[in-house]
């Protein structure tokens, strides 16, 4: 090969190398890697600001993860997340910051129902649609938010109370012999309102005794403290109505430390626990027969919220209120179904296989 040809070959190789390097540089500039093995290219992302209540329970952690996973860049969404640490004033500040950042959408999981008219009005004036998740908001004008996604808390309570009524009938327990303490959630939260009022209505209708109703803010340690005091004050208690699984776990700790037993049969002196959420930790206690009934409150709401945002953004029709699907799990076969006002409702007998298949 002549020197001339060698020079031409070297120049050609150099040019090709430059072109290749430039191409790779261009691609790397256009790519954003968020997860191993998944490549993201620059697109017109929707920016969503999400104000979450906090991380007070296993349910809340699962809810946050579901929403974060669904409102991701992989799904065309740039998420700005804020943890309010159970404080409404922090949520209001977060929403105002989202407005300043000119996000496309705001997702709000409110601490309590009231106190949102002003800040949601500010979001409306800025032209930013708001989607409410989990707990509801009590505002004068419901056009201040586009839609709501969550659970039917009144229905959850109806299921729990109908189960208790059927259980007592099957065990031949008189209504006046059912002595209940209610470990409430955060006062003013939609779940607390629905679950507390449902128990109060059922107790009035069926003749049960509610010995006390005390809030524990959905927290395990506080529930243990509350239940320890209630056991001293009301030794006749035989049913504990816990408004979430973390409270049920704390209640079990208090019962066992007192020398009594959490179980499924109050005719044998056990304290029967009803709970809500159906988290893995809660259902584990159902499998151990320490929680008699656990009514699901499904935290996996992320995909529904994502689809709702996409529908709003594309101008498609969408529901104002969306209720997620839920089940109820029992520790034994005493009650296999109950009759709701609109349908028969199956109570699922929990097994190890069912628990293993659960996502949270």
Distance from C-alpha of 71 to C-alpha of 50, rounded to nearest angstrom: 9
- Backbone φ, ψ for residue 31 (5° rounding): -100, 145
Q: Would you tell me the crossing angle of helices 58-70 and 245-257 to the nearest 10 degrees?
A: 160
- CB 144, CB 160: distance < 8 Å: no
The pLDDT, as a whole number, for residue 171 is: 96
Between β-strands 77-83 and 46-52, what pairing exists: parallel, antiparallel or unpaired? parallel
Distance from C-alpha of 84 to C-alpha of 111, rounded to nearest angstrom: 8
Summarised one tens digit per residue, pLDDT across range 119-166 is 999 999 999 999 999 999 999 999 999 999 999 999 999 999 999 999
The pLDDT, as a whole number, for residue 35 is: 52
Place of tokens 């930790």: 281
For residue 174, the tally of other CB atoms under 10 A from its CB is 8
State mean pLDDT over 184-201: 96
Q: What angle do CA 302, 306, 312 make, to 5 degrees?
A: 145
- DSSP assignment of 36-50 equals TTEEEE---PEEEEE
Summarised one tens digit per residue, pLDDT across range 73-114 is 999 999 999 999 999 999 999 999 999 999 999 999 999 999
For residue 40, the tally of other CB atoms under 10 A from its CB is 16
The pLDDT, as a whole number, for residue 256 is: 98
Q: What angle do CA 235, 241, 246 make, to 5 degrees?
A: 105
Q: Would you tell me the crossing angle of helices 190-206 and 153-170 to the nearest 10 degrees?
A: 30
Give which of 243, 186, 234 is closest to 210, Cα–Cα: 234
Distance from C-alpha of 165 to C-alpha of 173, rounded to nearest angstrom: 9
- CB 315, CB 275: distance < 8 Å: no
State mean pLDDT over 260-285: 97
Distance from C-alpha of 239 to C-alpha of 244, rounded to nearest angstrom: 15
Residues 6+ apart with CB under 8 A from 117: 139, 140, 141, 144
Alpha-carbon distances of 129 from 61, 71, 103, 120, 139, rounded to whole Å:
25, 15, 10, 9, 15
Considering only residues 27 and 53, tell me which one the structure prediction assigns the higher pLDDT: 53
- In sequence order, the β-bridge partners of residue 348 are 329
Judge whether residue 12 has pLDDT over 90: no
- CB 325, CB 303: distance < 8 Å: no
State mean pLDDT over 30-54: 70
* Class of residue 6 by CB neighbours under 10 A (exposed 0-12, middle 13-18, buried 19+): exposed
Judge whether residue 21 has pLDDT over 80: no
Q: What is the pTM of this model?
A: 0.81
- DSSP assignment of 251-291 equals HHHHHHHTT--B-S-GGGTPBEEEEEE--HHHHHHHHTTSS
The pLDDT, as a whole number, for residue 36 is: 57
- Backbone φ, ψ for residue 39 (5° rounding): -105, 135
**What does pLDDT average to over the chain?**
90
Give which of 175, 298, 173, 292 is closest to 241, Cα–Cα: 292
Domains of the chain: 40-150+300-323 (3.40.50.2300), 153-297+327-357 (3.40.50.2300)
Distance from C-alpha of 240 to C-alpha of 160, rounded to nearest angstrom: 12
Give which of 232, 188, 190 is closest to 211, Cα–Cα: 232
């Amino acid at each position: 090969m002549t020197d001339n040809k060698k020079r031409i070959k070297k120049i050609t190789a150099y040019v090709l190398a430059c072109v290749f390097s430039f191409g790779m540089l261009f691609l790397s500039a256009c790519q954003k890697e968020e997860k191993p093995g998944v490549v993201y290219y620059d697109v017109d992302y929707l920016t969503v600001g999400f104000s979450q209540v906090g991380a007070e329970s296993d349910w809340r952690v699962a809810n946050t993860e579901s929403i974060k996973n669904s409102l991701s860049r992989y799904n065309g969404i740039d998420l700005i997340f804020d943890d309010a640490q159970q404080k409404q004033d922090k949520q209001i500040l977060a929403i105002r910051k989202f407005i300043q950042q000119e996000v496309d959408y705001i997702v709000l999981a409110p601490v309590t129902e009231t106190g949102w008219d002003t800040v949601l009005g500010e979001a409306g004036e800025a032209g930013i649609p708001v989607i409410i998740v989990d707990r509801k908001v009590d505002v004068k004008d419901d056009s201040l938010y586009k839609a709501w996604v969550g659970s039917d808390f009144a229905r959850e309570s109806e299921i729990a109370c109908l189960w208790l009524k059927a259980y007592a009938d099957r065990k031949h327990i008189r209504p006046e012999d059912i002595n209940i303490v209610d470990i409430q959630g955060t006062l003013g939260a939609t779940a607390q309102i629905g679950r507390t009022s449902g128990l109060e209505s059922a107790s009035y209708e069926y003749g049960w005794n509610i010995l006390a109703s005390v809030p524990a803010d959905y927290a395990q340690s506080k529930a243990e403290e509350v239940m320890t005091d209630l056991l001293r004050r009301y030794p006749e208690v035989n049913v504990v109505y816990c408004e979430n699984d973390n409270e049920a776990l704390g209640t079990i700790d208090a019962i066992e430390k007192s020398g009594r037993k959490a179980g499924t049969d109050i005719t044998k002196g056990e304290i029967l626990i009803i709970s809500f959420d159906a988290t893995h930790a809660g259902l584990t206690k159902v499998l151990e027969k320490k929680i008699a009934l656990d009514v699901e409150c499904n935290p996996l709401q992320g995909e529904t919220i994502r689809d709702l945002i996409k529908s709003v953004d594309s101008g498609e029709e969408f529901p104002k209120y969306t209720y997620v699907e839920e089940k109820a799990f029992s520790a034994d076969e005493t009650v296999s179904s109950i009759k709701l006002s609109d349908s028969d409702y199956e109570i699922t007998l929990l097994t190890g296989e069912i628990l293993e298949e659960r996502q949270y």
